[in-house]
Structure 1
Amino acid sequence: MSDPSLYTFPSPLEGYRDLPPLPNEISDDGKSYINPPAEKPSEAYEKFVAPIANDRRGGFDVHIYFYQTKPDQVTFVKELWERIRREFPELRIYKIFDRPVGPHPVGMFEVNIFTPAQFGAFIPWLVINRGPLSALIHPNTNDHRRDHSQRATWMGERFPLDLGLFKG
């Protein structure tokens, strides 16, 4: 279901058409372009872009997977879960499921992220601290199948999800 041809995509330039051309001046690093200053920062710094949820369910879910039959991963996931609860108490952190649940084929726990600032802090932290575990990061829109497939991002080993649980 992650086949992009199954979906439509609005132009990324929607709302930015008919503007003056961008400059071609190269910055001091010799590789990147110098961008003109924006009138104001992007709203994406303050809230998630539509159709991502900006409500109590959270804009993003992070599912952190482990093989429940591997004792070293069971120990590691418990330690990671505790550390996340201590360092990121503002996030919603679910209990550890020691068996497959929902579309998830192995044990996991879930973390909900509510703001772009939380996303910007937690995801880089997880990149460094997830150890041998895999993580699925997906937005929360009203299209669960697409959120868990075409819009999903993976860290580490990708697990096949049972997308048949999502109707549509």
Structure 2
Amino acid sequence: MPAIHGYHAHIYFDVKEAEKAETLCKAAGEKFPLRVGIMHLQPVGPHPRGSCQLAFKNSLMGDMLPWLIENRNGLTILLHTLTGDDYLDHTDNAFWLGTAEPLNLDGL
């Protein structure tokens, strides 16, 4: 397996959950030294619905995972590695908090 260079957590939401997702992403950005991405209201890339990306270093994984579990407030989150192999990162090297959703893997 290639080296893991960091992680992405994609917070998924529908229109009615957008405020809840924005609150979660903002809180993560205030608590941890990570990058909070744009709130995409429509599907982007492989993601099946609205999402916001949290990008963080390996050293934060031990703190981020339990924090996301405790604070996701019913939102679905895709958490995956960053190895340089986008397909494997979004499939074999990924896990879900909440119900897994089908990804559009054609472009990976």
Q: Normalized against structure 1, the TM-score is what?
A: 0.61
Instruction: Determine whether 1:51 maps to 2:35.
Output: no
Consecutive aligned runs of 4 or more in structure 1 exceeding 2 Å deviation = none
* Higher share of residues assigned strand: 2
2:101 to 151, 159, 167: 159
How many positions carry a matched residue from both structures?
Answer: 108
Which residue number in structure 1 is paired with residue 89 of structure 2? 147
* Higher share of residues assigned helix: 2
Which residue number in structure 1 is paired with residue 42 of structure 2? 99
Name the CA distance, whole Å, in 2 between partners of 1:136 and 1:83: 18
Conserved? CA contact 2:4–2:58, under 8 Å: no
After superposition, the CA RMSD in angstroms is: 1.4
Percent of paired sites with the same residue: 33
Mark the structure with the bigger radius of gyration: 1
Cα distance per residue 1:66-119 (max 9 Å; x no partner):
112xx2x1221121122112112x111112111100110100100111132x11
Name the CA distance, whole Å, in 1 between partners of 2:58 and 2:39: 23
Task: Report the CA distance between 1:151 and its aligned residue.
Answer: 1.2
Q: Which runs of 5+ in 1 are unaligned?
A: 1-8, 10-49, 54-58
2:12 to 57, 60, 65: 65
Q: Larger relative contact order (C-alpha < 8 A, sep ≥ 6)?
A: 2
Amino acid across the alignment from 2:10: H
Task: Report the CA distance between 1:124 and its aligned residue.
Answer: 0.4
Q: Normalized against structure 2, the TM-score is what?
A: 0.92
